[in-house]
Amino acid sequence: MSISREEVLACLKTIQAPSGVDLVEAGLVRALTVTEGAVRFVMEVSTPDPFMPAKAEAEEKLTALGCTSVSIVMTAHSQPTAPPNLQPARKAEPAGPEKIPGVDRIIAVASGKGGVGKSTVAANLACALAAEGRRVGMLDADVYGPSQPRMLGVSGRPQSPDGKIILPLRNFGVTMMSIGLMTNEDQAVVWRGPMLMGALQQMLTQVQWGALDVLIVDLPPGTGDVNMTLAQKSHVDGAIIVSTPQDVALMDARKGIDMFNQLGTPIIGMIENMSTHICSKCGHEEHVFGHGGVKAEAEKLGVPLLAEIPLHLDIRIAADGGAPIVVSKPNSSQAQAFRTLAKNLIESGQA
């Protein structure tokens, strides 16, 4: 039985919000997706507690309607203020970073700007670590441009047997979760900060990751809400910064490093991607984006240069084809660059 978006909205209109109007009229239903009977939306509220009965009623009625799974994320966009002339006796202490049950280490892969190959590096690193015998997870937190489903050759919708715990998908020895698995490939994710933070928290804490040696988190470029939320809410063991050698990319990479420094997240090191190009016709080596810029920057900042990854057509073709170069051409020099990176991280105790 296929459930339509209109049927879901009609069902939600029968549920009353604390304000006295239905959930839809109150504007509480955001980012609604209905795919193959799976329903997901965000309830953006002032404080969660008064809306819990409405949330429970929505889950019950949508399940009765025939929805295969129902996922409702509640986000609070403001904090309640104390009554006039009354001050709280003691401010609540902010919750510190927490570890994910079963996950030994979390490594964030980040970049200051887009287009430097961060996601390609993350996918190949995850597969390389899995090839070295590590139990690896991949969280695609790049919500505006989720590319890991394509790169890791994963399709289909994650299941949620009880409407709470999400079952991730798996390929090439990597357990993977991405917001891209919950939306259509050409569908934009038009979310503000509270929605992003709620979705990230759900993917971190409600996904059944199992026992992992390392969880790779592919972050969005820049220093936005998702990156800050990850560092503040989860115990991130370290960040890897990916950049090309050109000055513009390095300028933004410095900002990304500074963000992690401010948030107390250790920098594992930097990777120079698209470092050099060897012509397939004549063998001539050229540095399209310059060379050595990341190494110089790493030395300046006092962090290791972890790898220099070449600019090569096979890496791009492999990523677009859904089997990273580490998997599709494991004996190639390009794949060996990632395998060496993975081995070094394992030997140093970082992964």
111 belongs to a structural domain:
yes
- 130-173 confidence digits (pLDDT tens): 999 999 999 999 888 889 999 999 988 888 887 778 899 999 99
Res 200 pLDDT > 80: yes
Question: Which band of pLDDT confidence, cut at 50, 70 and 90, is reported for residue 269?
Answer: very high
How much is the pTM? 0.71
CATH code for position 120: 3.40.50.300
Question: Which band of pLDDT confidence, cut at 50, 70 and 90, is reported for residue 93?
Answer: very low
Res 89 pLDDT > 50: no
Do 329 and 283 lie in one domain? The reply is: yes
Domain boundary among 35, 57, 76: 76
Which range is least confidently modeled, 16-20, 112-116, 256-260, 330-334? 16-20
Q: Find all residues with CB under 8 Å of 129, minimum gap 6, and list them.
A: 136, 213, 214, 216, 342, 345, 346, 351
291 belongs to a structural domain:
yes
98 belongs to a structural domain:
no
- How many Å apart are CA 52 and CA 102, to the nearest integer? 29
Q: Total domain count for the chain?
A: 2
181 belongs to a structural domain:
yes
pLDDT of residue 284: 63
